[in-house]
Structure 1
Amino acid sequence: MTQVDFHILSVQQFDEAALYVCRLAEKAWRAGHQVLIHCDDAWMTPIDELLWSYRPESFVPHGLLSDGLAPVNISSQHACGEHHDVMINLSHDQPTSFSRFNRVIEVVFAEDRLKAVKRSHYKFYQERGYPLKSHPM
């Protein structure tokens, strides 16, 4: 069964949350996991660009899922390609393919609409018996 973790950030802005997502994706990739970052359309390009530049000394092999499979992919679509290991969900949407992943990390930051949506995600997972953990950051 999919393990679901909620990483609750104290940051206010998308840019700060995006930095956290990049660090999290790099950590998971370095630990040997394949990662799918699921985000809203408007956030795909900023996250893609940030993965190239957020730490000059690091390299995270990544790309848009629509361009082909990579160790770290970014997508706003519900399709997840061949991914099944770790999903980082920064999207307002709850991806329909979440249950094929070993682990889903729901990233929450202080955007009012996002917080409300993530609460509904939590309730959805809880009602279906998924193992849940919350991590205030």
Structure 2
Amino acid sequence: MTEVTFYLSSKVGDGVRQALAWRIADKALKQGRLVYVHCQNEAHARQLDHDFWQSPKTGFLPHALHSEGQAPVILGHGPDPGEHHDVLINLTDQVPDFASRFQRVAEMISGADNERQAGRQRFRFYRERGFPVTTHELG
């Protein structure tokens, strides 16, 4: 069954969820896992692609847009993640229909009130459907 982990940060502001996604993707990659980062839309995926090339300045995360190639970390959007099924990092406010295809799902939650509320709804969704759910406070 799909394991779901919520990563909670008290930080607020643009880029908090993206920074968490980079951190979790890097950790998963070091464990030999493949990662699909689910974005809101194409513009969000392209912005995340740009951000992943820019920071952090001391690291590199091999990634590609879903529509443009293969890499250990894929940035995509829409209803079909392709052949991916290992680790899903969800950066949208809804649970993707395909979430149960993945072995692990990571939900990024910042300290912003609207993100916390949307995160609570996703938490309830997973819990009500019997997914094992854990949380990690990251500060």
Fold shared per TM-score above 0.5: yes
Equivalent in the alignment of 1:129: 130
Pairing 1:108–2:119 present: no
Deviation readout 1:95-124 (Å, 9 max, x if unpaired) = 110001000001111233222221111111
Q: What is the identity, as a one-letter code, of the residue corresponding to 1:65?
A: H
Classify the secondary structure of the residue corresponding to 1:67. Answer: coil
Identity among equivalent positions (%) equals 36
Tell me which residue corresponds to 1:12.
12
| Residues 34-82 of structure 1: per-residue CA shift (max 9 Å, x gap) | 0011122243222211211213342221111122332101112121111
| Structure 1 segments unaligned to the other structure (5+ residues) | none
Worse overlay, 48-57 or 91-100 = 48-57
CA distance in 1 between partners of 2:31 and 2:103 (Å): 14
Q: Which runs of 5+ in 2 are unaligned?
A: none
| Higher mean C-alpha deviation, range 94-103 or range 39-48 | 39-48
Matching of residue 70 in structure 1 with residue 71 in structure 2: yes
| 1:24 Cα offset (Å) | 1.5
Q: Distance in 2 between matches of 1:102 and 1:70?
A: 18
What are the residue-to-residue correspondences of 1:1-137 with 2, within 5 Å?
A: 1-41=1-41, 42-137=43-138
- What TM-score comes out, normalization by structure 1 length? 0.91
Q: Secondary structure at the match of 2:50?
A: helix
Task: Give secondary structure in 1 for the equivalent of 2:15.
Answer: helix
CA distance in 2, matches of 1:54, 1:92: 24
Report which of the two has the higher share of helix: 1
Deviation at 1:134, TM superposition (A): 0.9
The TM-score normalised by the length of structure 2 is 0.90
The Cα of 1:20 is off from its aligned counterpart by 2.0
15-24 or 122-131, larger mean C-alpha shift:
15-24
What is the count of residue pairs matched by the alignment? 137
The whole-number CA distance in structure 1 between the counterparts of 2:23 and 2:123 is: 23
